[in-house]
């Protein structure tokens, strides 16, 4: 890293930079501010620091905050874009408290759904393979700019929860495979998604094909149905025409 800095060799490899910095953090006493200032990250241009933050996981962000005041100050100008899964509620709280703007959030299979703050910048949310409860009705209204939602294999996702689509009008990609509790009544709320471009309802056995066709026609989406005797699946992609 230091060689790159001295020779002004940009852009540097962000992933390698992260690994080197974390290794250095683990072997240094970082309580002393004079020691803090000798880390290479303090010499990096702001643009590079922002790139490091945006593609780091929460553990890396937390550790690098400890060694660099400059890094901490740049967090509020950065967007969190990592697709890595958030592994615990503590990690999520660290992320929310950091002040970073969150664009992407992967909570698949974690059952971490109690988020009581507005995520204005969030555009991609994966909550697949979760056990859902009423908390989902508190989460969805706090996502005003969500465009990509994956609720696949959430077997508790119900018709009542579908009413949230009335407020989530910017969704372009919706994946709700194997949400078997959703029926024609709940699915009708998807008609509100006027910007929908991609829809996957594979395994939603209680939604009639005729209702799916209505959604596809309403949004000018081209469908590619696959039928079997035991399962109805539909994968829909927006027509390029």
Encode 41-60 in three state secondary structure.
HHHCCHHHHHHHHHCCCHHH
pLDDT score, position 40: 64
Q: DSSP letter string over 104-171?
A: EEE-TTT------S--TT--EEE-TT----TTHHHHGGG-TT--EEE-TT-TT--HHHHGGGGT-TT-
DSSP conformation class of 195: T
d(CA 162, CA 183): 10
pLDDT score, position 20: 58
pLDDT score, position 160: 94
pLDDT by position in tens, the chain (length 241): 444 444 444 444 545 555 555 555 454 444 454 444 555 667 778 888 887 777 777 777 777 777 777 777 888 778 888 788 887 788 788 778 778 888 999 999 988 888 877 889 999 999 999 998 888 888 898 999 999 999 999 999 999 999 999 999 999 999 999 999 999 999 989 988 989 999 999 999 999 888 888 777 776 665 544 333 233 444 444 333 3
């Amino acid at each position: 890293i230091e060689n790159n800095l001295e020779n002004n060799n940009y852009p540097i490899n962000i992933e390698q930079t992260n690994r080197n910095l974390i290794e250095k953090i683990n072997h240094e006493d970082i309580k002393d501010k004079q020691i803090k200032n000798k880390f290479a990250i303090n010499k990096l241009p702001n643009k590079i620091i922002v790139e490091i933050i945006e593609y780091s996981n929460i553990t890396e962000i937390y550790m690098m905050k400890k060694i660099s005041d400059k890094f901490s100050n740049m967090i509020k100008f950065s967007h969190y874009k990592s697709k890595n899964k958030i592994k615990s509620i503590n990690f999520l709280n660290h992320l929310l408290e950091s002040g970073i703007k969150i664009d992407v959030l992967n909570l698949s299979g974690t059952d971490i759904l109690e988020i009581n703050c507005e995520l204005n910048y969030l555009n991609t949310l994966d909550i697949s393979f979760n056990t859902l409860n009423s908390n989902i009705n508190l989460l969805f209204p706090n996502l005003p700019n969500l465009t990509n939602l994956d609720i696949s294999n959430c077997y508790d996702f119900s018709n009542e929860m579908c009413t949230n689509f009335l407020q989530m009008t910017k969704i372009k990609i919706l994946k709700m495979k194997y949400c078997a509790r959703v029926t024609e009544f709940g699915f009708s709320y998807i008609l509100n998604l006027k910007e929908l471009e991609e829809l996957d309802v594979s395994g939603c056995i209680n939604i009639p094909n005729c209702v799916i066709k209505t959604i596809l026609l309403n949004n000018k989406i081209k469908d590619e149905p696959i039928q079997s005797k035991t399962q109805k699946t539909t994968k829909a992609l927006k027509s390029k025409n």
